[in-house]
Amino acid sequence: MEGMFNGRGNLDDNVRMLTSVGAKYIGRSLCLWGAEADFLRNIERAKAETPKMLTADPDAMLEACVFETVSPKVEQIAIPDWVFTDLASQWSEEIFRLDGMTYPEGQRRDWGRDARSPMPAAVNAALVLLSGRFVHRCGL
């Protein structure tokens, strides 16, 4: 159920419906497209809401997806210190840089509202790919 933990809709009704149909894999239950500026708030809300579904069905698997696109809002996010430790890096930037994580103009696909696809080989984009580990560290 895409966006179940995005803070919209009736969570109790969604849990009721999913358990009544026996759903076990809840795809994109946290789906943050272009929500970089609110990333931490969204993660905290999802962290508070996911136990409700897992209490109703402990066998449910909840999928999260983040940063399928990036926008200039990504430059408002501080890179957590643990990223530098985990990468054993001398990296010194404290925020993500949009231009450091996307293909150059003419080689990229823009997704509207300044959103772009990240270039996986770029160091900044590699840090974005660690967002899954960040979600895990938040307890999701």
For every one of its 140 residues, what pLDDT tens digit does the chain have, with 9 covering 90 and above?
888 998 889 999 999 999 999 999 999 898 877 666 777 788 889 889 999 999 999 999 998 876 667 778 778 777 766 666 655 555 566 777 777 777 777 777 667 767 777 766 665 555 555 555 555 555 55
pLDDT, tens digit, 9 for 90 and up, residues 75-95: 877 776 666 665 555 556 677
The reported pLDDT for the residue numbered 115 is 76
The CB density around residue 37, as the number of other CB atoms within 10 Å, is 15
